[in-house]
Structure 1
Amino acid sequence: MKNAPAYVKVYSRLKNEINKGTYPVGGFLPKECELEKIYQVSRTTVRNAVKILVQEGLVEVRQGSGTRVLNHKAIQNYNKVTSVTESLMKKGYRVTTSDMMIDIISADKQLADELEIPEGTSVARIQRLQLADEEPVTLMENYIEYAKVPGIEAYENQF
């Protein structure tokens, strides 16, 4: 993700902090000026990152109150599974991918357990920024054991 725009990096870090519970449901993110200092970025960068979090339903911005973390656990409809892309297209958005980053990482315990591979195994991490009508809406992340896709990093940004 080293080549990703600054707002995508901030978005990714904030999303990770929300998922880890650093910012619990019902709580608030730090104020914009604090986030600027924490991530050493501009206010515009912070606002763009928060905008993606809002579009994903992770937070809501309340004028005068701050940015509140929402209960974002997915509600699964067991009769039908749809992708983010499919859902947005049904709502009339033009969905595109603007950036794709591929890097090779070592699987930590959690990832190794999820992929049913030994901890420390090389894994390709594929991240794609999805846009709806040219606005960032989600960062898609996929992981696959590197031995199954050797050399995949050569295809970064080829979509």
Structure 2
Amino acid sequence: MKKLTAFQQVAAELREKINSGKYQPGQKLPSEYELAEIFQVSRLTVRKAVAVLIDEHLLAKEPGRGTYVMRPSKISSGSGGLQGFTEKALEEGREPRTKVLSCEVATRIPEKVTAFFGEERANNHLEPLLHLSRLRFLENEPMTVEDLYLPQRYLPVVSDELLEGSLFRELEKQVEIGYSHQEVEAVLADEQLAQLLHLPEGAPLLLVHSLTYSPDGRPILYDTSFYRADKYTFRNTLQRKRYR
């Protein structure tokens, strides 16, 4: 692994202090001089480290007054193309974590899932589907509950370590991911979802149905996920169709 430069090390330590809550949103950081003393580096190194975290939208600088910890924005899905939860979190400098709620070969398959994988399963002699449920966290805060179905051959070896990481990364070892169709609707948290997401019952959630395909149209993943509406948003770019 490539060794971090001095400013990257300082940036990593500051990032950890922000993510752990040692530096709170809205709090002013120590001065460059004080940070240089704390980390035993030059002020230029501190300045470069701070610039990295400003680019990551973790810090904001106010000329003449100092540098402050930014209030965290909602995770914005879709703004960077088709990305998994882990990929998006890491891109934004946040620490993802996963708790596997269940993983089993599906025996009772909902009609919509059967319809989605119908032709693909028929071509592969009704191959088994895995049913996976996961709770996803950012910095130990629960963010989303996932309910997933996928052909077993795309995850030939299943382990807790594998399921707690990036599912897209594991799937792409077996099949190329091409695109996903999504539908988003507003719902209210029932008792079970409220407990998992640490919310009051009836809190607003975003229910996202995602159908993910290979480039040649083979169904890969049927995903029904519940996202905290206070922490998550979905962003898409739509192009105007030109009529003649």
The TM-score, its normalising length taken from structure 1, stands at: 0.49
The TM-score, its normalising length taken from structure 2, stands at: 0.33
Q: Higher RCO, 1 or 2 (CA under 8 Å, sep at least 6)? A: 1
- From the CA coordinates, give the structure whose radius of gyration is larger: 2
Judging by fraction of residues, say which structure has more strand: 2
